[in-house]
Structure formats: C-alpha cells, structure tokens
Amino acid sequence: MRVRAKKELGQHFLVDQNILRVIERLAELAPDDVVLEIGPGLGVLTRFLADRVALVHAVEVDHSLEPHLPARDNVKVHWGDALRLDLAALEPPARKVVANLPYNVATPIVVESLDGLPSVEFWCVMVQLEVADRFFARPRTKAYGAVSVLVQLAAERVGFHSVSREVFRPRPKVDSALVAFRRTRLPDNYTLVKRVVGAGFAHRRKTLPNSLALAGVATREAGEAALRALGRDAATRAEALAPAEFVALTEALA
C-alpha cells in the first residue's frame, strides 16, 4: 500500500537498508537496549531495531501508518505527539533514542529530552545537516546558539555521518546527517541555566545584559556585574560565551 508523506508532519520516510548498518554502528546497539524511536514512519528502522534490541518504544502521531508498523512482542507503539506524551513514564524506561526524527520537531525533541528523559544515556538521531551542525557548534560561529549550549552541557558527540538525500522518500530538499552523542552530566542548576541561555540568545544582536533584561531574567546592571565576575566585558554577546560559562553566569546572577 503506497503512503503519501505528510509535509505538515515533516515526514521523509527512510527507505534505504544500507544506512541501517551505519545507525547500528553509531548507536552502539546491544541486545539488552531499550530504545525510543520517534517517528517510525514505514517501520524500516523499527524492524531493524527490534531484531537487535530488547524493546523498541515507537512513538507515532500518524495513525495511517499503523499497517506498516511491525506487530512484534518487543515493539510497543505509542500514538500521539512526542512533545506532548509523557515519555518519561514509559515502562521499561528507554536508555537510548534512535530515530529518523521528523524535520519539523527534531530540535525541540532533542532539547526537551536532555532533562525530560533522565533515563536516556545515548542518542543517535537523523536530522537536517544544519541541525546536526548546530548541536555541537563552537562559540562565535554562525551555527552556535541556545541549542548548542544546552546539548553540549548535557552530552558529548561520539559519532557523525553525512546522509544522502536518496535514502528518503520523498527526497528532501536539504541534506541530512546522523549524529550520535552520549550523556555526560547535567549541571545541578540546569533548569535555571536553560532559562538564562534562552534569554541570552533571544536577541542575538544585543549585548547579553540587554538581552537578559528584555527577557525579564535579570536587570541590565545585574547582567553586567555577572559578566564582570566571569572576567567578561559588559558588551559581550551570548554567542561569545562557551557552554560552561553560561553555568558560571547563572551562578553569578543568583
């Protein structure tokens, strides 16, 4: 049965079996793994995972794809929006996220999973190339932003593989990549850091103290004092700070 991809859901179905071996290597799949797959689509990756791990939690919002998903004892299909479901309540809890993420929700899914899914220790996700580059971009580069800071505070990159557009149907208009990263340790004040990071990058053309003030996180004077405590000039912009400096900045503001 032919399935038409839904553009509004960011669907690009994985159809090339060869890329699965790359995923297997980057994801470091093991027989006892419990894997969370978001956006299983036609079930190509789902079946591959189910043959190699203990359990696959497959989260899908499009009920029309139900006939294509494998009916296996070690595959649990959860219907709904991954950003709205309580994925932390899945039993047994997922240890890895291995997925061809829908383009339109890839970034928020990854960012929210960093602190929202504490059981997850490892990610291997297919995303747009520019999104993959953004995850581990360096300060003062065009790609560096709030997402870069939050991901790098929680994880370290352990694998990367560029992916041809030909492995998907329909063929996307953008390049993609597989990126694998392993959890390190969240800062104790991560919730506050997340707020400061979001505020800092909310107005990229403004100085960090002004951006924090506009977001209502701190007064401009408090922001300037916190930057001075870090040995930074009051005119510093968010893109100049390394991830660890945002932790120190948050502590200085407190």
Tell me the per-residue pLDDT of 19-37, one tens digit each, with 9 for 90 and over: 899 999 999 999 999 999 9
Radius of gyration of the chain (CA): 20
Contact in structure between 178 and 126 (CB atoms under 8 Å): yes
Contact in structure between 208 and 191 (CB atoms under 8 Å): no
Q: How confident is the model at residue 170, as a pLDDT?
A: 64
Q: What residues in the chain have per-residue pLDDT under 70?
A: 1-13, 15, 168-172
Roughly what angle, to the nearest 10 degrees, separates helices 243-253 and 146-154?
Answer: 90
Strand intervals (E) in 82-222: 96-100, 122-128, 155-163, 168-169, 176-183
Let me know the angle formed at the C-alpha of 122 by 116 and 125, rounded to the nearest 5 degrees.
Answer: 90
- Cis preceding-peptide flag for 170 (omega within 30 of 0): yes
Q: Which domains does the chain have, with CATH numbers?
A: 7-183 (3.40.50.150), 190-253 (1.10.8.100)
Token reading at 217: 């996180």
Q: How confident is the model at residue 163, as a pLDDT?
A: 86
List pLDDT tens digits, range 171-182: 667 789 999 999
Looking up tokens 């932003």 gives: 145
Prediction pTM value: 0.90
Q: How confident is the model at residue 15, as a pLDDT?
A: 64
Q: How confident is the model at residue 8, as a pLDDT?
A: 47
Closest to 60 measured CA to CA, from 1, 130, 3: 3
Q: How confident is the model at residue 174, as a pLDDT?
A: 78
